[in-house]
Amino acid sequence: MSVPILKQGDYLIATIQSALSDSGVLELRDDLAQRVGKLRSRGIIIDVAALDVIDSFVARSLRTIALTAQLRGARTVIVGIQPDVAVAMVQFQLDLAPLETALDLEEALALLDQSRRTAGARER
Amino acid sequence: MDGETAQVASAPLQAPEIDPSLLRELVSHLREESAQLREEWVKRIVDARLLGVMSADEVYSEATAVYDNYVDALETGSVESLQAYARDLSERIIQRGVETHEVLGIVLLLRDVLARSLFRRYQAEPDLLTRVLDSYEPAANRIAVTVGVSFVEERERIIREQQAAIRELSTPVLQVRDRLLILPIIGVLDTQRARQLTEQLLSSIQANRAKVVVIDITGVVTIDLTVANHLVQTVKAVRLMGATAIITGLSSSIAQTLVDLGVDVSMIRSVGDLQGGLEEAERLLEEAAVVFDDPPGPAAA
């Protein structure tokens, strides 16, 4: 099942709704990389609230997606990691760094806005 | 004497073989002389400075009750009622701060007082004295062990109860203001409690949409490697939830321990005291709030 990607202003929002297969991950990565270019997006928000497991494969995939998007000029924020998922991840020493995380969509939007503003201020 | 006690301790419930007629005589002797022997016992308790926390009257009335129970136990060979009495007594005196050595000292003093009385009574007939002592010693040892064990068991029960009570006291996650939580940790942190704490904190972050959490460990006395790592994991998990954890109140000894244990402290954001931690938290929140105060960008609209 492919992951729906919504456009919201300058950002893209991908909501993962069920466990990702290998091909699903690659598809998502390509989709996002392509749309970032086409829609001139500056940020990607990936919502993983529906995942009840984030294993090393998913973690690595998310990192890959973020790095790819970064090269295309967009910043990636992961949102909606559940408490027990977070506990399991740190117990298995899975790290999402250098990815950024936020509690929910609203937070992620604020985070992206903030970083663009500070970047803009620096340019001025 | 020591060996004898140890031997009895290894089989405290085994009734010693006692000549019944001799025991009856012995018990009646101890009953006749009870007033005088009790006086002597109390005097020796006071001289030995045992039970300093109780008044003389209290010592005397407890002594009377213990003496009667003691002689009853000698007579029947059954320590059950004495055991119940000792438990009851322990419950009362533990709260007053009576120590194990005092209880053992008192029981051994009584044993001593009674033995001396038997010596005086039967010293003219060495054979009889030996047999009387043969009957008396094992029973008396058994009683001493019973009382000592009852006391210690009672104390352990109280300790267990208190531990459970402490554990059950849920660690509160408090919301100080919008988006800011405090988690004060007090007492002993073990693995189980640390895990419980993490879960509670993470669900509170979700429920309150917290941005910053201040974990105050001023009230934590010691920390070990497992718990230290758990703390680091908690900080990481908080990060994954999109919030920032600030740890405050790390005592110098705990800080030292963390460094000595080689815990990865690089990602711990730490501030000396709770006040400093709250100030830091406010600063972080203001930083984030700038975004909300500005006219919304196209994306946030």
pLDDT tens for the 301 residues of chain B, in order:
444 444 444 444 444 455 677 778 888 888 888 888 888 888 888 888 877 777 878 888 888 888 888 888 888 877 787 888 888 888 888 878 888 888 888 888 888 888 888 888 888 888 888 888 887 888 888 888 888 888 888 889 988 888 877 766 667 888 998 899 999 988 778 888 888 888 889 999 999 999 999 999 988 888 888 888 888 889 999 999 999 999 999 888 888 888 888 888 888 889 989 999 999 999 999 887 765 554 444 444 3
How many beta carbons lie within 10 A of that of residue B200, not counting itself? 16
CA-wise closest residue to B262 among B229, B217, B216: B229
Within 27-66 of A, beta carbons closer than 8 Å to B belong to 43
Helix axes B2-10, B126-168, angle to 10 degrees: 60
State the amino acid at position B232 in one-letter form.
V
A114/A46 Cα distance (integer angstroms): 18
**Beta-carbon separation of A86 and B298 below 8 A:** no
Q: What is the pLDDT of residue B52?
A: 75
**Beta-carbon separation of B241 and A83 below 8 A:** yes
Place of tokens 């909606």: A80
Architecture of domain B174-291: 2-Layer Sandwich (3.30)
Of all helices (H) and strands (E), which one includes residue B88? helix B80-94
Place of tokens 């005196």: B93
**Beta-carbon separation of A86 and B301 below 8 A:** no
Facing A102 at nearest CB: one of B236, B238, B242: B242
Name B215's bridge partners: B183, B247
State the CATH class of domain A5-123: alpha beta
Kindly state the tokens that stand for B95.
């709260």
**Beta-carbon separation of A117 and B294 below 8 A:** yes
- Please return the burial class of B129, using the count of CB atoms within 10 Å of its CB with bins 0-12, 13-18 and 19+: middle
| Sheet containing A43-47: order of strands | A5-8, A11-15, A43-47, A75-79, A100-102
Q: Which of B183, B205, B231, B236 to mutate to test the interface with A (most CBs of A within 10 A)?
A: B236
Q: What is the pLDDT of residue B66?
A: 83
Q: What is the pLDDT of residue B205?
A: 93
DSSP helix/strand/coil, B122: helix
- Chain B residues with CB under 8 Å of A81 CB are 240-242
Q: Which fold does the domain B2-164 belong to in CATH?
A: Globin-like (1.10.490)
**Nearest C-alpha in B relative to A9:** B299
Q: What is the pLDDT of residue B26?
A: 81
Write out chain A's pLDDT in tens, 124 residues.
Answer: 678 899 988 899 999 988 878 888 888 888 888 888 888 889 999 999 988 888 888 888 888 888 888 888 889 999 999 999 998 888 888 877 778 899 989 889 988 888 888 776 655 5
Q: What is the pLDDT of residue A11?
A: 93
Q: What is this model's ipTM?
A: 0.78
